[in-house]
Amino acid sequence: MSGQELHPAQEPTAARSLWARWLNWLQQLEPQWLTFGALVLFCLIFAAFSEAFLRPSNLLVIARQSSIIAIIAIAELLTLLAGGIDLSVGSLAGLSGIVTAGVMVSTGSPVLGVLAGMLTGTLFGTINGLVITRLGIQDIIATLAMLFIAHGLIYAYSGGQPIYKGIDEGFLFIGQGSIGPISMPIIIALVVAGVVSLMLNFTKLGRQIYAVGGNRDVAYASGINVKQTKLIVYMLSGFLCSIAGVIVTARLGSGQPAAGDTFLLDAVAAVILGGASLSGGVGTVSGTLIGVAIIGVLSNGLTLAGATYYTQEILKGVMVILAVLLNSVRGLKR
């Protein structure tokens, strides 16, 4: 028996061996490094096609345009880490922004306007959490319902018209001002990213969020209040969306009913590109920011190259599929 030779079909081929080594390398590599490699590659490609791409002024434009998506993507990341998903992030940002404008115009106070907008996002995020944790409705269904509710409330409150008369000039600094060459939306997004990253990595709540998303039953058995953790996550998601909504209103100088319509898809795409798992418990703020950067670089680079809007959307979709496939390959290891 020991002298028997392997059938030729059983002999590992060079191609199979190469594939196995490449697969093992992918499984060992952290997802954010793959995403960062893709970001660098896109930057090199667009720099080759346009001299304007790598100019500091253009890079600041990309960062400013991506800052609001970054905040909403971080909100989405929190819910995914806890094993959920929030489809209402764009609508909550839009509702918070329109309420900010409406209250500011009616009271003449930018402070009351901002507080009202932030309270709105946090309140509706809390409602999301209560519906999910107390009524037992699945995250995707509850937040989909909230998407429609918030979208309807936007148009009911505004009458479908922009709110711009009476917007305080000082308030506009939040969205249009800058400190040195860095615009305020970028600064706010970086502060949000830093605070959330510290919370996830160095606090008890952060460890609980990862634990709940990683294995709900094990988290419960270890004494973690799963329902309370998820409720807090959705409250935080709504709060972060309200910050984004306030910035949008300040940036546009008005409350626009359709302002939040496109945020959801870009935010979800950025989080997935950043290596977060749809099954929960996997993902980082740094990875999400890289995913946001890829979305921003694609949009800006393709615009400079003269590509159409629908071409940008197609490439975003392809990138998301590739990111999910890579995460699946990495998941084979586990």
Tens of pLDDT along 81-93? 999 999 999 999 9
Rounded-to-integer distance, Cα 87 and Cα 28, Å? 31
Other beta carbons less than 10 A from residue 127's beta carbon: 18
Identify the pLDDT of residue 149: 97
Identify the pLDDT of residue 331: 53
Residue 13 forms part of a structural domain: no
Tens of pLDDT along 39-68? 898 899 899 988 899 999 999 999 999 999
Locus of tokens 């084979």: 332
Residue 23 forms part of a structural domain: no
Query: Over 60: is that where the pLDDT of 27 sits?
Result: no
Residue 14 forms part of a structural domain: no
Identify the pLDDT of residue 319: 79
Query: Over 50: is that where the pLDDT of 12 sits?
Result: yes
Identify the pLDDT of residue 306: 82
Q: Is 216 in contact with 82 (CB distance < 8 Å)?
A: no
Tens of pLDDT along 138-162? 999 999 999 999 999 999 999 999 9
Question: The domain containing residue 271 runs over which residues?
Answer: 32-331
Q: How far is CA 147 from the centre of its chain?
A: 16
Query: Over 50: is that where the pLDDT of 307 sits?
Result: yes
Burial 30-56 (b: 16+ CB within 10 A, else e): ebbebbbebbeebbeebeeebeebeee
Tens of pLDDT along 165-197? 889 999 999 999 999 999 999 999 999 999 999
Q: Is 294 in contact with 270 (CB distance < 8 Å)?
A: yes
Q: Which has more pLDDT, 13 or 297?
A: 297
For residue 277, give Cα distances in angstroms to 38, 66, 113, 268, 281: 18, 22, 36, 11, 7
Give the model's confidence band at 278: pLDDT under 50 very low, under 70 low, under 90 confident, else very high. confident
Identify the pLDDT of residue 320: 80
Residue 81 in tokens: 């880490």
DSSP 307: -
* Range list of β-strands (E), 48-196: 178-179, 182-183
Residue 39 forms part of a structural domain: yes
Q: How far is CA 77 from the centre of its chain?
A: 6
How many domains would you assign to the chain? 1
Provide mean pLDDT across the span 117-135.
98
Rounded-to-integer distance, Cα 216 and Cα 211, Å? 7
Give the model's confidence band at 279: pLDDT under 50 very low, under 70 low, under 90 confident, else very high. confident
3-state secondary structure of 137: coil
pTM: 0.89
Query: Over 90: is that where the pLDDT of 311 sits?
Result: no
Residue 132 forms part of a structural domain: yes
Tell me the percentage of the chain whose pLDDT exceeds 70. Answer: 88
Residue 323: CATH number of its domain: 1.10.3470
Give the model's confidence band at 334: pLDDT under 50 very low, under 70 low, under 90 confident, else very high. very low
Residue 27 forms part of a structural domain: no
Q: How far is CA 281 from the centre of its chain?
A: 15
Residue 240 forms part of a structural domain: yes
Tens of pLDDT along 224-256? 999 999 999 999 999 999 999 999 999 999 999
| H helix count then E strand count, the chain | 14, 2
Q: Which has more pLDDT, 236 or 307?
A: 236
Q: Is 35 in contact with 291 (CB distance < 8 Å)?
A: yes
Q: Which has more pLDDT, 10 or 124?
A: 124
Give the model's confidence band at 330: pLDDT under 50 very low, under 70 low, under 90 confident, else very high. low
Radius of gyration of the chain (CA): 22
Among 17-26, 265-274, 291-300, where is mean pLDDT lowest? 17-26
Query: Over 60: is that where the pLDDT of 6 sits?
Result: no
Identify the pLDDT of residue 1: 46
Provide mean pLDDT across the span 202-213.
97
What number of residues does the chain have? Answer: 334
Residue 63 forms part of a structural domain: yes
Among 1-10, 107-116, 130-139, 195-204, where is mean pLDDT lowest? 1-10
